[in-house]
Amino acid sequence: MVKDYVKPRSLDEAFEALAMPGSIALAGGTFALIGEVHGTKADIERAVDIGGLLSEAVERRGSELYVGAGCSFQALAEAPAAPACLRAAALTMANRNTRNRATVGGNLGANKSCASLVPILLALGAQAEYKLRDSGPRHIALEQWLAAPQGLVLSLSIPIVSGTRAASGRASRTSCDLATATVGLAFRLEGNAVRDLRVALGGFGPHAMLFPAITALFEGKSLPPKADIEKAVEPLLSALSDKRGGADYKKRRGAVLVADALHAAEVLA
């Protein structure tokens, strides 16, 4: 239950309201309004509606893609400036009504295990622009912000490096079912050799994260056939058995997802 609702007219007003104990930022509300704060079911003392205060732009700025934290999943899926892997990740949120409301910033704030956008953003090396009360905007690597979330994310900057190949993916038993795994990966090919590989997975821990151990399997080598990738990746994954599926099933699906994504990766620009 939300006990109090505030609609600030500026970011400064929003930070004032958020400074009051028990306040949370409300973007699309598709996660916050299920009444779970930091993983615990709870009443919300004060919802501070930040809708309309954050940029919704998705645009190329030089060699980077700028994504405003206020951008909805649907807008991202339809943005001509966004690479196919990012648009595809936004579309894996199966329900269009939810995509219309859910924002990029909210996906980072919710930081769910099977987050749709987080793996591909980590793989692409996104930088987060965030702001605390009474300070100017700061920039850090997204993985650092996710490790210790603070303030409000204002935007993301994603390097679009010529020749980078990338892919995203999601595994679930049916298209509308809860995800058992999500993946994002990016690399270059130097001749046949895989270079600068970054692999991130959701579903194998409380939050989506980079998997350096998977990178180490393939970095500097030519890409093996899918069956060999699956065999090598599966033992590196650990999962919990729950309503989404058994641990072995999830590990298998995750390994297949990585193999498929490595082989399907497309050049960004």
Ligand X SMILES: Cc1cc2nc3c(=O)[nH]c(=O)nc-3n(C[C@H](O)[C@H](O)[C@H](O)COP(=O)(O)OP(=O)(O)OC[C@H]3O[C@@H](n4cnc5c(N)ncnc54)[C@H](O)[C@@H]3O)c2cc1C
Residue with Cβ nearer ligand X (162 or 175): 175
**Quick check: 105 binds ligand X (CB under 6 A)?**
yes
The partner residues of 214 in beta bridges, in order of sequence, read none
HSE-up (13 A, CA, CB side) for residue 47? 22
- Name the packing angle between helices 226-233 and 247-264 (round to 10°): 140
Give the range of 27-35, 58-66, 79-87, 217-225 binding ligand X by CB under 6 A. 27-35
Of 25, 29, 27, 28, residue with least CA distance to 13: 25
Give the range of 6-14, 100-108, 229-237, 252-260 binding ligand X by CB under 6 A. 100-108
Q: Which helix (H) or strand (E) holds 168?
A: strand 165-171
Residue with Cβ nearer ligand X (83 or 109): 109
| Greatest CA separation for the chain | 60
The token pair at 181 is 């795994």
**Quick check: 93 binds ligand X (CB under 6 A)?**
yes
d(CA 257, CA 262): 9
Of 243, 4, 35, 201, residue with least CA distance to 115: 201
d(CA 215, CA 74): 31
Residue with Cβ nearer ligand X (53 or 256): 53
> Which position among 2, 6, 24, 161 is part of the footprint of ligand X (CB under 6 A)?
24
Residue with Cβ nearer ligand X (208 or 259): 208
Residue with Cβ nearer ligand X (129 or 230): 129
d(CA 60, CA 164): 16
Residue with Cβ nearer ligand X (44 or 197): 44
Site string for ligand X, 176-205 (x = CB under 6 A): ------------------------------
Asked if 164 and 150 count as a contact pair (C-beta separation under 8 A), the reply is: no
**Quick check: 172 binds ligand X (CB under 6 A)?**
no
Provide, rounded to whole angstroms, the least separation between the CB of residue 184 and ligand X: 12
Dihedral angle at the C-alpha atoms of 218, 115, 87, 176, nearest 10 degrees?
110
Site string for ligand X, 30-69 (x = CB under 6 A): xxx---------------------x--------------x
Query: Hunting for tokens 């779970």 — which residue is that?
Result: 36
The token pair at 18 is 């958020």
Site string for ligand X, 118-157 (x = CB under 6 A): ----------------------------------xx----
Give the footprint of ligand X on this chain (CB under 6 A): 24-32, 54, 69, 92-93, 95, 98, 101-103, 105-110, 112, 115-116, 152-153
